[in-house]
Structures are given as structure tokens and as C-alpha cells.
Amino acid sequence: MKPSKVLGVVFAAVFAATTLSTQASAAEYRWSCRTVPAGYTYVMVRADVGCEPLYYVTLPEPGLWACRVPAGWTYTATRASSNCWWNDQYLLAKA
């Protein structure tokens, strides 16, 4: 198996383990190449050949651990996370 595939599998496993245990509700997620669309936040970022960075994006909602606090939102806690560029996640709350 290629190293990039192994890395992808590892990230997916870590993401699934942390996300399933901490999500406030069943949000919809999708991958976004190089940018986070306006109004969205991301919960994971990874390197991908041909599309770097690759963001796992979703609409913000209270109780979501996100890598970025979108405009119009605030946060109530932080935690260390290897899923984000800056190694911190924010527990989102409505501003």
C-alpha cells in the first residue's frame, strides 16, 4: 500500500473515532479542495496529491468541535487536535 493511502486510512480512522464520540448531532460533511466555503467550517485537514490542503467541511452548529471559528460564531472551549493546521479545535457556540 502506498504511504499516502496509509496516511489517509490513519486520518480517517482517527477522525471517525473522535468525531463519532463528540458530535452534537448528525451534520453533513464533504471534502473541499484548497478552500473552506463561506459560511462553513472544517473539522479536519490533510495533504492530498493534486489538492492540498484538503478540508473536511460542514456547516457550523453548537457543540461541534471545529478547526476554525466562522464569522458570527464563538467558542466555549479548546482542545489539542492533530486534525487541524494549528493543532487546536474549538467547541462552537452561537455568538
Over residues 26-55, the pLDDT tens digits come to 679 999 999 999 999 999 999 988 998 999
Interval 64-69 mean pLDDT? 97
Task: Identify the residue whose cell numbers are 457543540.
Answer: 63
Q: What is the pLDDT of residue 2?
A: 55
CA distance 95 to 86: 22
Residue 10 has pLDDT above 80, yes or no: no
Q: What is the pLDDT of residue 19?
A: 44
Q: What is the pLDDT of residue 18?
A: 45
Which residue, among 18, 63, 62, has the nearest Cα to 44 in the 3D structure?
A: 18
Average model confidence (pLDDT) across the chain: 82
Q: What is the pLDDT of residue 85?
A: 84
Structural contact between residues 41 and 58, judged by C-beta atoms closer than 8 angstroms: yes
pTM above 0.85, yes or no: no
Helix (H) or strand (E) holding 76: strand 73-80
Residues contacting 77, CB < 8 A, separation 6+ = 90, 91
